[in-house]
Every structure is written in structure tokens, then in C-alpha cells.
Amino acid sequence: MAQANIGVVGLAVMGSNLARNLASREGNTVAVYNRTWARTETLIDEHPEAGFIPAKTIQEFADSLAKPRTAIIMVQAGKGTDAVIDELVAVFEPGDIIVDGGNALFTDTIRREAAVRETGINFVGAGISGGEEGALNGPSIMPGGSAEAWQTLGPILKSIAAVAEGEPCVTHVGTDGAGHFVKMIHNGIEYADMQLIAEAYDLIRRGTGKSPAEIADIFAEWNKGELESYLIEITAEVLKQVDAETGKPLVDVILDQAGSKGTGVWTVQTSLDLGIPVSGIAEAVFARSLSSKPAQRAAASSLPGPSEDAFKPADPEAFIEGVRLALYASKVIAYSQGFDAIVAGAEQYGWDIKKGDIAKIWRGGCIIRARFLNRITEAYAENPGLVALVTAPFFVDVMAKAQTAWRNVVADAAHAGIPAPAFSSSLAYYDGLRADRLPAALVQGQRDFFGAHTYKRVDKEGTFHTLWSGDRSEIESEGSSH
Ligand SMILES: NC(=O)c1ccc[n+]([C@@H]2O[C@H](COP(=O)([O-])OP(=O)(O)OC[C@H]3O[C@@H](n4cnc5c(N)ncnc54)[C@H](OP(=O)(O)O)[C@@H]3O)[C@@H](O)[C@H]2O)c1
């Protein structure tokens, strides 16, 4: 009976594409199961070449898998995943492996891993990026789970992952929820990158009056240089698209309210808990929220702003180059912040995450794949203890070349009344990070004034409090400032 070396549960678009990808690789025989049989039937009818072993029941599915049984779940995240895990645990045996390839919240993965481990079965939360196309042709895969599970799973995942510069885009990220954590941060960076690109487009369009098709050409050109990436490439495609019905640029007939599925929010919430300022990602999430408030936007549409012609760049080509540099610099900040969150998560949850390897597996298959990820890998290879990615020599150089243009673009945007929240908050973060002194000293003074929260001094050890409502002398305080 047992003929398949790998199985897939959940055969909607992601699961069926992943199953087809697995089946197309040498040495794999793939068992498939879906709660609703009709979906399984459609898949096997449409893809006889895959040689799938279909199962009508979860027991049949388990019986069709060689031991240790390995199954990848690709169902709706949340309750669907829990339901399928329960079913699999009932029919699997110790040593078998359950992989959740959905977009689970990493804390759910930590919980599930601990519960499944009790049964002797391995549970691996694996982040899979690349959408439908990636699932079919080669995604970037971020598996967590035990080293034991990785022994069996590694070769299978390597066989289906995207390949970048000869290396498969998959690595064992760390234990339990590490894979889903890193996938979450990946999605957060994706949010920031998309928002930055959208701001660049808006600034060029409103600043120079160029058409979407003309801006598409600019992005296509940018894609030949240091900004080369999947998101820049698809931006050019989207901007070029003409609506068949109206003959207008498609981007002009799409309602300007951006949706989301929640992974950006998770990234920001998690980073807030970890105390990591992921401001670029947060601004991207907020920008989507703001766009989706039609009543507020309508009510505010008559609020005063600069006149339409307040901003006309004297040299449009120089302005466009400035926007390119601002985009590059802001993007470096978004990645730098994302890696800060990975470092903090690894510390909090006890994961040994190799940052350079993460940048490597993001070079292919995933939505944020980009040429400059090689530079990130190199930066961490040169200095594994790098405290902030933006301080690596290569990126210092990027900032040196970009910072004046970046400032000008942010100032232009403010003068023109064009919202550029991700550009400007990334710049503020950059300036905050490099400042010798921050007004945080004043904030500590205020906190001490109203809440006796105490403060430390620059010139001596200890924790201090000023007797604000007394004679305003300073006393040394017990305990540490907080
Ligand atoms: N779409 C993407 O681009 C993308 C990218 C990366 C990751 N993901 C993640 O991949 C996973 C699958 O995504 P998808 O878009 O292919 O499918 P989906 O629409 O998220 O989920 C549909 C699948 O889940 C199954 N399902 C739902 N509740 C279930 C339950 N209680 N018990 C058993 N099966 C249940 C459905 O079975 P029935 O046929 O019986 O209803 C169907 O196979 C999700 O976690 C998603 O977040 C998606």
C-alpha cells in the first residue's frame, strides 16, 4: 500500500500547485488528500502526468505514505490547520512528520509543535513564499521544527525550492516556530517594499506628470540596476496594463483601498512586543488602513493643503533619480529593521537563526527576492555580530550616496502635500539611529517628573530621581530606572 514518500493535505490553489511541484521532481511520489473529495478528483483528472496517489479518507492517506510518513498541510490557516493536525495525529505514528506550510502565526506553531511532540510525531511549521506561481515552480521555504525532522524533510524541500545562484532557497531556520516567524518578517518587509515602491510611483506621477506607462518604463529601467527585484519588475507590468473596458491605465480604475491578510499586522504587533522599531513596515500597514477608510477620506478631502502647482521639480530627470535613491535607502532601512526583529525574536524564543542564510533563501522564489539580498548575505558573512544591517560598510556607502537625495525627496513630498509615510519615517529612523544625542533624555526627565520613573546620568553610575515637588534636589534611587 505505502508508495508515496510525501503527501499533501489541502488541495486549493497552494496545495495543488505544491503537490504538482513535488510530483514533478525526480524520486517523489505524492499522496494527496482534501476534506472535500471533489477537489482531489479535479486535481487528479487535470494532472494525470503527476501520478498522484489520491486518498478519500485520512486513514487511506496515512496508509499510502511510506514511513516515516511525511505530510505537508496547505489549508486555511487557523482552525482549518488545527482540525487537520488532529486528524493526522490520530492516524500517524511516532517518528512521522507533519509539516504546516500555511501562513500560521508563529506562536500557534510553537503551541502546535509542543502538543504534537508529546505524541512522538514531529511537527514542522514551514513558511512558504512565492504565491501560487512559487508553489508550482519553486518557492522560498522557511522550515522550523526539529533537526531530526529536517533530516528527512530537507532533501524533499530542497527538491522543490527555487534555486538562486545554484543554491536551493530553503534552510532549516531554527526550532519550533522559527520558520513561521521568519516568514512573518518576510511578509512585513514585503509590505514595506510595496509601500515604498507605491510612494515612488506617486511622487513621480504627481511631481512630473508622467503617465503610468511612462513610469512603467522607469521601473523597468530601475530593474536593470541595484534595485533589481521581483516587486519592481511586477510594478512595471501593473503600470503598463491598460483596462480593456475603458482604455484607461488599469491602475487608474482600481479602487485605491488596499487590503491585507494580516501578516503585516502580526509583524508590527510582534515587533512592538519585542521592542523593535519596524517603522517602515508599520507605516506600510497604516497606509493600507488609511486607504481603506473611505468615509474619513471623503470628509477630509477638503482639508487645506498646498496648491496643486506648489511643487514642480526644476529638473524632472534629477527628481526621478532622487526618488530612486530615496527608494533604495528606505528599502535598506526596511530590511535592516526586519533583521533587527529576527535577531530579537531569535533571542526571545531561543532560536539559532543564521541571518546570512535567511538573506540567501530570500534570493529566489519569494516575493521580496532582490539582487541586493546578496549584499546582506555578504554583510553578515563579513561580520556575523553586525548590530544593525545599515551599518555594514556596503550599506554605509549606499546611505552616503543616497542621503541628500532622500532628504530632498522627503522635503519635496511634504511641500507638495504628497503622502510619503514610509520614505519619511525611514529617514527619521535613520537620523534617530545615527544621532549623538536624542531627546529621549528630556522624555526621561518628564517621566521622572510625573511618575518618579528615575533616570540614569551620563557622568556617573547609579539611578537618580529629582524631588520635583520638593526642593528639586537630586537623590540616588534604589533599584534601576524603568
Ligand atoms: N494564496 C497564496 O498566495 C498563499 C501564499 C502563501 C501561503 N499561503 C497559505 O497557504 C495555505 C493555503 O492557501 P490556499 O489559498 O491554497 O487555500 P485557502 O483558501 O486558504 O484554504 C482552502 C483549503 O483549506 C481546506 N480547509 C479549510 N478548512 C478546513 C478544515 N476545517 N478541515 C480541513 N480542510 C480545511 C479547504 O478544504 P475544502 O476543499 O474541503 O474546503 C481547502 O483545501 C493558507 O494557510 C495560506 O495562508 C497562501
117-131, 283-297, 308-322, 398-412: which range is least confident on average?
308-322
Sequence-separated (6 or more) residues with CB below 8 Å from residue 262: none
Mutate to test the pocket of ligand 1, among 13, 35, 89 (most ligand atoms within 8 A of CB): 35
Find the Cα–Cα–Cα–Cα dihedral 419, 403, 189, 261, rounded to 10°: 0
pLDDT at 311: 83
Q: What is the mean pLDDT of the chain?
A: 96
| Ligand 1 site, residue 399, Cβ cutoff 6 A | no
Mutate to test the pocket of ligand 1, among 33, 43, 75, 87 (most ligand atoms within 8 A of CB): 75
pLDDT at 478: 81
Average pLDDT (134-139) is 96
pLDDT at 1: 61
What's the pLDDT band for 479 if we cut at 50, 70, 90? low
- Contact predicate 418/433, CB 8 Å: no
Residue 237 among the catalytic residues:
no
Average pLDDT (202-214) is 97
pLDDT at 482: 59
What's the pLDDT band for 310 if we cut at 50, 70, 90? confident
Return the percentage of the chain with pLDDT > 90, whole number. Answer: 96
> 9: CA distance to ligand 1 center in Å?
9
Residue 190 among the catalytic residues:
yes
> 305: CA distance to ligand 1 center in Å?
45
Annotated catalytic residue within 183, 331, 355, 360 = 183
Residue 480 has pLDDT above 90, yes or no: no
What's the pLDDT band for 124 if we cut at 50, 70, 90? very high
| Ligand 1 site, residue 128, Cβ cutoff 6 A | yes
What's the pLDDT band for 312 if we cut at 50, 70, 90? confident
Angle subtended at Cα 427 by Cα 408 and Cα 325, rounded to the nearest 5 degrees: 55
| Ligand 1 site, residue 262, Cβ cutoff 6 A | no
> 8: CA distance to ligand 1 center in Å?
12
pLDDT digits (tens, 9 = 90+) for 209-267: 999 999 999 999 999 999 999 999 999 999 999 999 999 999 999 999 999 989 999 99
Q: How far apart are the first and last CA of the chain?
A: 63
pLDDT at 126: 98
Which residue, by CA, sits nearest to atom 43 of ligand 1?
10
| Ligand 1 site, residue 11, Cβ cutoff 6 A | yes
Residue 481 has pLDDT above 60, yes or no: no
> 15: CA distance to ligand 1 center in Å?
7
Which residue, by CA, sits nearest to atom 19 of ligand 1?
76
What's the pLDDT band for 47 if we cut at 50, 70, 90? very high
pTM over 0.85: yes
